[in-house]
């Protein structure tokens, strides 16, 4: 079955952040940063002060602010003017900024130069993007030692002939356009073109994905999409600055 997934507009997201976010924030969904996510992120990525980063589809900046709190110099990019406004209201500081950008349709910002970033992150948003093209761009922006991190919702498998074609992912139903995720098959396909991949479950419905070495076959054997590595032992990790109530 081939399903056409409707594109959400910036106005759709503006309305969602204006009307829905306060209720969802209280309920702990969708993107509050938990101590568990912070710990696993530190184990897999090992962020350090002075790193440069881009946070794609940053929403109102909760994860962007978390990266800044760890000393990362980061810019958050989002489609929604209302999300960017909320992020700015929550606080700006040296090394923390936000820019409105339609990742799927607009020209890449001048700041995202090839080989310029240590880290690119994208939480709960990759299924909304033309993710095959987006990951190619991410691979170009990263330094050779750079890392891509995504947190995605795990969706139920569907009989979808477009399951791994790199287009925007299928949402669970037409009534839940803001709740998109990836199937297991789509998650498996995300390692193609990268030499190293780590995946881990944070819960039954959330999966962390870490990719390194885009297109680098000279120094590291290419892994297949289904291969993953173990997480290293955890370093001392500061707690998340924003934490969901529901674990």
Q: How confident is the model over 140-145, as a mean pLDDT? A: 96
Residue 108 sits in a domain whose CATH number is 3.40.50.150
29 pLDDT more than 90: no
Which range, 33-47, 84-98, 172-186, is most confident? 33-47
- Please indicate, yes or no, if residue 162 is contained in any of the structural domains: yes
Q: How confident is the model at residue 71 (pLDDT cuts 50, 70, 90)?
A: very high
Which of 3-12, 61-70, 163-172 shows the highest mean pLDDT? Answer: 61-70
Residue-range definition of the domain harbouring residue 153: 29-214
pLDDT of 22 strictly over 60: no
The pLDDT score that the predictor gives to residue 89 is 86
- Give me the mean pLDDT over the 138-153 stretch: 96
| Residue 99 domain-assigned (yes or no) | yes
Predicted local distance difference test score (pLDDT) of residue 180: 81
**What's the confidence (pLDDT) of residue 26?**
46
**Residue 32 clears pLDDT 80, i.e. is over it:** no
User: How many domains does the chain fold into?
Assistant: 1
pLDDT band at 7 (very low <50, low <70, confident <90, very high): confident
pLDDT of 23 reads 57
Nearest partner of 127 among 214, 52, 185, judged by Cα: 185
**Could you tell me if residue 54 is inside a domain?**
yes
Cα–Cα distance, 111 to 99 (Å, whole number)? 11
pLDDT tens digits, one per residue of 57-67: 998 899 999 99
Burial class (CB in 10 A: 0-12, 13-18, 19+), 140: middle
Q: What percent of the chain has pLDDT over 70?
A: 68
Residue with the bigger pLDDT between 56 and 92: it is 56
pLDDT at 91: 81
Residue 129 belongs to some domain of the structure? yes
Identify whether 198 is part of a domain: yes
Q: Do you know the residue count of the chain?
A: 247
On whether the CB atoms of residues 119 and 147 are closer than 8 A, the answer is yes
Which has the closest alpha carbon to 124: 35, 28, 207?
Answer: 207
pLDDT at 215: 83
Mean residue pLDDT across the chain: 78
Task: Answer whether 83's CB lies under 8 Å from 60's CB.
Answer: yes
Phi/psi at 73 (5° precision):
-85, 115
In the predicted model, what is the mean pLDDT of residues 105-125?
Answer: 95
Q: Measured at the alpha carbon of residue 89, what is the angle toward residues 82 and 39, in degrees to the nearest 5?
A: 95
233-236, long-range: CB < 8 A, 24+ apart: 233/43, 234/39, 234/42, 234/43, 235/42, 235/43, 235/46
**Whole-number pLDDT of residue 159:** 40
Structure tokens at 132: 């095959």
Burial status of residue 25 (CB atoms within 10 A of its CB: 0-12, 13-18, 19 or more):
middle
CA dist 105 and 103 (Å) reads 6
Give residue 151's pLDDT: 94
> 121, 146 in Cβ contact below 8 A?
no
Is the pLDDT reported for residue 162 higher than 50? no
| Residue 82 domain-assigned (yes or no) | yes
Give the E-state strand segments of 154-205 in sequence order.
194-201
36 or 215: which leads in pLDDT = 36
Tell the residue number behind the tokens 């962020």, with chain if given.
47
């Amino acid at each position: 079955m081939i399903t056409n997934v409707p594109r959400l507009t910036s106005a759709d997201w503006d309305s969602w952040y204006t009307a829905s976010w306060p209720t969802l924030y209280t309920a702990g969904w969708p993107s509050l940063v938990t101590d568990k996510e912070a710990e696993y992120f530190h184990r897999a990525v090992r962020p350090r002060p002075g790193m440069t980063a881009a946070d794609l589809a940053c929403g109102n900046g909760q994860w962007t602010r978390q990266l800044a709190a760890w000393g990362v110099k980061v810019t958050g990019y989002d489609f929604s003017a209302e999300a960017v406004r909320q992020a700015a209201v929550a606080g700006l500081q040296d090394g923390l900024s936000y820019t409105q950008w339609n990742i799927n349709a607009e020209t890449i910002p001048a700041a995202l130069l090839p080989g310029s970033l240590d880290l690119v992150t994208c939480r709960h948003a990759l299924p909304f993007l033309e993710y095959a093209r987006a990951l190619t761009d991410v691979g170009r922006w990263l330094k050779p030692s750079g890392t891509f991190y995504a947190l995605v919702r795990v969706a139920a498998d569907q009989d979808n002939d477009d399951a791994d074609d790199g287009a925007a992912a299928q949402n669970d139903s037409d009534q839940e356009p803001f709740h998109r995720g990836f199937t297991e098959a789509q998650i498996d396909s995300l390692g193609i073109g990268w030499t190293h991949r780590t995946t881990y479950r944070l819960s039954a419905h959330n999966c962390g994905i870490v990719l390194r070495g885009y297109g680098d076959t000279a120094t590291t054997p290419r892994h297949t999409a289904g291969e993953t590595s173990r997480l290293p032992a955890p370093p001392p990790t500061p707690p998340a600055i924003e934490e969901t109530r529901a674990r």
